[in-house]
A and B are shown apart, each in its own frame.
Chain A
């Protein structure tokens, strides 16, 4: 199976037209000693039926969970049928980047609508067409801040997702920027007095997340005031995008950039990718932000249409002076997010409230177990941290029943021994949660 339509006769005619005797003549520029004498060692080709059987059997070697109680950066939500039907339209998914606007109005307009929805949800004025994932969006916001202010230090809260911190460290190391972490206080929120002490003239940006990795909602206003008093920029992330259905967005509370993971909006768990990096900013950064941007304009007849715009920020025009190196992004995931948000509309708030209800219930039930305690007092959206007598044992019991348990925080935070981070979304019924408690008991 190789999807080439060439018949032997076609090949013969084409060779003649080109003036070559054999196909190998086309590769004459490759020095002889580098030409493979033997094909690469990979398994032999398969028919479509064999291929599908192989893939089916591989997929069945995974154990699909009965329930998923972990969020921690990837969230199990219901995806309305409309999302799959739209993103599976070949006009969208078999297209390249919309370089030719006249035959790409579909994806261009859909992205413009997505940008609008995201800017509104995050309380900012602008959003780009997408980044790779939440962590790369955060790291690029840090780099952009340092370049914009010509400063070389980045502060990041330890209550930010450990992998987001790791990615930010990698990007900052490559650019020679220093990264300092700020501890969390007893409520599991950023420790403001420590931040105030660390803020200095060389700090470019402070990176926080709200809800943070522990599920806690950060008090953004005083953080923003402290950051801005030192001329630095505030980058505010979030965890589960559906939280924006009820929480006041960081863009309204003083954040300069709002970045995060948009997977929750209509994208499957997919074992971690592809996901959707959301990048939103206050309007003054319009000509500096990374990534593609779609703008409205008019055609020769005066009709509204859409184009990729402000491309002088981008690598294909500015090369080494570009604001980022990003080229391909996650357009189809952004399309899914746009369809999802349009399908839910104001019901995103209802959904978020439902998540809060489920979360409060699960937390309350688990707290009735002997030896279980609440670890942090900060208000939460749909994730929370509890300590228990033996976290490993709890997860083993759940795994035996085909349940993905809580996230064990000890591996990233050694002091949080036997602490589990749980997530409850609309996917868990009361019955499910009662079963979880019964299994642990």
Chain B
């Protein structure tokens, strides 16, 4: 037994409330008796007892109804779908479509069940656009369960089923069962794929979505092509809005018949850096109602001088970036680098292009003074550099005071000193990170590579190189940078991934439980009707004798 929504079991806490209500309902009935004396002697002789809950049929009925509804709300699943005592490799779909409410928890619960009923070695393969093996050859399932708990659905669309099955077959021992857990939209494996059992989770949803969106340089300008598709069972209306760099510049009202797709194209200003499409569909799966696209800056050429492994990783992860590691004394001064990053001493002869100075030290061209100190981030600013990044409570180490040149803007402020400053210099844009990124915890945060990516983007825009995307060149479309893996350039949202298929997953028990609750309520209704009839037939009297006689 597992539960799709285990949190709904909290509703079972309402059972004591029902008992309490029944206790409150047990108001004493007035009864005239000839004399209290025999009863008073009993009260005097009997030690006071706690009020017991009478196990009345009505109370039991109410408890059964409440328990059934609570269990039904938790979406329990039976064991019927699992063959016990087998070695298994689970292929768990973690693509974005699993983020539809309830699917992921249901899939994970099913995976737990399958692991619990497996024997021998088990394995787990996470399936998305780039499937990977999480656990292989786990003898007791402990590592597999731990990996399962850590796994979360991706924001990326697309699941490479064939590759995932190939990985699963590679780690599976002979005779082991491969079980694919996915949503109703999961496609079919191609011919020749390893045999596998498919377990569907979640139910069909009424969905409109942006099935395609792309930026193209064409006809001397930047064009946006978008396709909205309906996966609903009936005609739906929606409004498709277009934002460029935060401002809405156009919108379009769409009426989509079931299964219909409509295309739209807009000409964008050449300076557009961030394009957002939003479909106001109000459907059950909002993840595919919004797209954010960014014209890729192809071939951002970066040179890194100095040692900072975290910074090197962040720079290397930039899409399309070309990173050159150089020494502090032999950095390039020609036009090749669009952005130069210096860790430690700032160059006396800075190269052209954007310049990022990290942990600058005294003695360089910058007016650095004072001993390094720590500072806690108090203002992440509202600029594009830190907007939307979670830097709260971050303690920056190695901060140094620096005399900011005229026109410098503080992009990140701590409680002691400015942490990041930026300005436009004669040879390009300059940004200074006046702290040590290797210490203080910043490098452990997702915000760090995003911060570096935004910094590089800003520095490259003001650089001398900066090739514009050429016509016909592929551009990346991606969810907001704040939400995506930097290496996770999206490949679009295949229509079949969003298409709802009415294939409910597993063997849900909630309909049985809800039916049981309904049946119990009907029994109570019939019982109450019988009681009313009996009450009408009952003769009058509040006196003891009339009731007892």
Q: Report if A and B associate in a common complex.
A: no
- B residues in contact (CB < 8 Å) with A: none
- A residues in contact (CB < 8 Å) with B: none
